[in-house]
């Protein structure tokens, strides 16, 4: 069910939600969090789709705030109060939650926290999400200040590599970035490979770490940073003209090496571990809805991510 509420206020939207629940029964109960997404107009539908996907794992209310259409604004006529259009989606159109879309004038979005306040679920954590361009300092953004978790996506902006470094400089516990979640399968495969290297319980000393991947993928830097911290050696990054990540090589002091490499345009990587045959590992790139669902699993600061940003990135050597 989709209900349009043109020229309205957030308070009126909240009353509509209560009315709808009274009228049509409990369509979305037991929601565990409010997700407030600040998106560009073109990103609205993708943002909703990702939130609806995540709602299957975490029943939630998502409030997507975006700039109002300039033409609409002109045709709106009266200017005695700021213009706000809203849309409410419930039931089949909203997965296991409810969806509110707000089209607001830019200056209203600057104080997003006060705009969405009437729509926040009572006594449930708030998660802020910027699916596109990340704010300079997420923790100081309006909605960032009321959020338990602030999710950015460095790869979605215009300058991904610069963005991840800005985010590192601005890092406050509770910040999160989807680039980190996109690495989870790679990190799990590598952790499993290290288990396999050390079959007799001893891991040889690490000599050299090299991570290769796309020229503009911050995931490459984060994976290198993580390995650098964990294995206690600086990690090199090699930029190659492929999308995403393409490979990791860890060389040990005894001249053996661990390689995890994914050929271009394949979901199947190859893992080779000293003393064992090369084996295929399924490593499909993860999409945003999946990564968002993963972020919402722990509504607490991810200390490992913070460490990677602050202590790991300085140990990454570009080649």
Partner 1 sequence: MTNPLRDPRDKRLPRIAGPCSLVIFGVTGDLARRKLMPAVYDLANRGLLPPSFALVGFARRSWADEDFEQEVHDAVRAHARTPFRESTWQQLARGFRFIPGDLSDADAFARLAAVTRELDEQQGTGGNHAFYLSIPPRMFGTVAEGLERSGLSSAPSPHAWRRVVVEKPFGHDLASARELNTAIERVFPAESVFRIDHYLGKETVQNLLALRFANQLFEPVWNSTVVDHVQITMAEDIGIGSRAGYYDGIGAARDVIQNHLLQLLALVAMEEPVSFDARSLRIEKEKVLEAVRLHADPDACSARGRYRAGWQGGEQVLGYLEEDGIPASSTTETYAALRLDVSTRRWAGVPFYLRTGKRLGRRVTEVAVVFKRAPHLPFDATDTSQLGQNALVVRVQPDEGVTIRFGSKVPGTAMEVRDVTMDFSYGHAFTQDSPEAYERLILDVLLGEPPLFPQQPEVELSWAILDPVLEHWARAGSPEEYAPGSWGPESADDLMARDGRSWRRP
List of residues contacting partner 1 (CB under 8 A): 26, 29-30, 55-57, 59, 95-96, 181, 184-185, 187-192, 194-196, 198-203, 227, 230-232, 266-268, 271, 273, 276-277, 279-284, 293-294, 297-298, 302-304
CB 111 within 8 A of CB 27: no
Which residues touch 113 (CB under 8 Å, ≥6 apart)?
142, 143, 145, 146
Q: Which residue number, 13 or 281, has a Cβ lying nearer to partner 1?
A: 281
Tell the smallest beta-carbon distance from residue 243 to partner 1 (Å).
16
Angle (CA) 134-139-142 rounded to 5° is 85
Nearer to partner 1, 126 or 273 (CB): 273
Spatial contact of 146 and 271, defined as CB atoms under 8 Å apart: no
For residue 119, the minimal CB distance to partner 1 (Å) is 21
DSSP code of 173? B
CB of 222 to partner 1, least distance (A): 12
Nearer to partner 1, 18 or 26 (CB): 26
Q: What is the CA radius of gyration of the chain?
A: 22
Q: How far is the CB of 56 from partner 1 (least distance, A)?
A: 4
The alpha helices in the chain, defined as continuous H runs, are: 10-24, 44-55, 70-75, 106-110, 112-116, 160-170, 178-181, 184-197, 218-231, 288-295, 303-307
Is the Cβ of residue 13 or residue 283 nearer to partner 1 in the bound state? 283
Are the C-beta atoms of 38 and 65 separated by less than 8 Å?
A: yes
Closer Cβ to partner 1, 140 or 278, answer by number = 278
Q: Are 89 and 98 in contact (CB under 8 A)?
A: yes
Taking the complex as a whole, the smallest distance from the CB of residue 86 to partner 1 amounts, in Å, to: 24
* Smallest distance, partner 1 to C-beta of residue 198, A: 5
End-to-end Cα distance, the chain: 53
Q: How far is the CB of 282 from partner 1 (least distance, A)?
A: 4
Output 132 or 174, the one with its CB closest to partner 1: 174
Query: Tokens for 47?
Result: 């943002």
Of 172 and 215, the one with the shorter C-beta distance to partner 1 is 172
- Using alpha carbons only, give the angle 298, 291, 101 rounded to the nearest 5 degrees: 90
How many Å apart are CA 126 and CA 183, to the nearest integer?
A: 25
Judged by CB, which is closer to partner 1: 169, or 188? 188
Q: How far apart are CA 151 and CA 138, in angstroms?
A: 8
> Rounded to the nearest whole angstrom, what is the least distance from the CB of residue 9 to partner 1 in the complex?
30
Angle at 312 between CA 306 and CA 316, to 5 degrees: 145
């Amino acid at each position: 069910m989709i209900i349009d509420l043109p020229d309205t206020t957030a308070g009126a939207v909240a009353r509509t939600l209560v009315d709808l629940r009274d009228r049509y029964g409990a369509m979305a109960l037991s929601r565990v969090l409010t997700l407030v997404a600040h998106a560009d107009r073109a990103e609205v539908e993708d943002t909703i789709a990702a939130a609806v996907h995540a709602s299957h794992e975490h029943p939630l209310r998502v409030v997507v705030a975006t700039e109002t259409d300039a033409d609409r604004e002109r045709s709106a006529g009266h200017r005695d109060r700021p213009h706000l259009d809203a849309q409410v989606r419930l039931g089949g159109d909203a997965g296991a939650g409810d969806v509110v879309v707000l089209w607001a004038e830019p200056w209203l979005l600057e104080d997003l926290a006060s705009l969405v306040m009437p729509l926040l679920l009572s006594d449930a954590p708030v998660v802020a999400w910027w699916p596109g361009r990340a704010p300079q300092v997420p923790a100081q953004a309006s909605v960032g200040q009321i959020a338990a978790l602030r999710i950015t996506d460095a790869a979605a902006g215009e300058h991904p590599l610069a963005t991840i470094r800005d985010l590192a400089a601005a890092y406050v516990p509770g910040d999160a970035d989807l680039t980190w979640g996109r690495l989870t399968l790679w990190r799990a495969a590598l952790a499993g490979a290290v288990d396999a290297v050390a079959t007799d319980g001893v891991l040889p000393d690490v000599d050299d770490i090299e991570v290769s991947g796309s020229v503009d993928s911050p995931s490459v830097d984060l994976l290198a940073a993580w390995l650098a911290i964990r294995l206690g050696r600086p990690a090199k990054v090699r930029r190659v003209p492929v999308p995403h990540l393409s490979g990791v090589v860890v060389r040990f002091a005894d001249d053996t090496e661990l390689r995890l490499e994914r050929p271009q345009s394949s979901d199947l990587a190859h893992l080779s571990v000293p003393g064992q045959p090369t084996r295929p590992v399924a490593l499909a790139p993860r999409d945003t809805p999946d990564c968002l669902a993963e972020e919402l699993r722990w509504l607490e600061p991810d200390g490992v991510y913070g460490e990677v940003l602050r202590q790991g990135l300085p140990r990454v050597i570009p080649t």
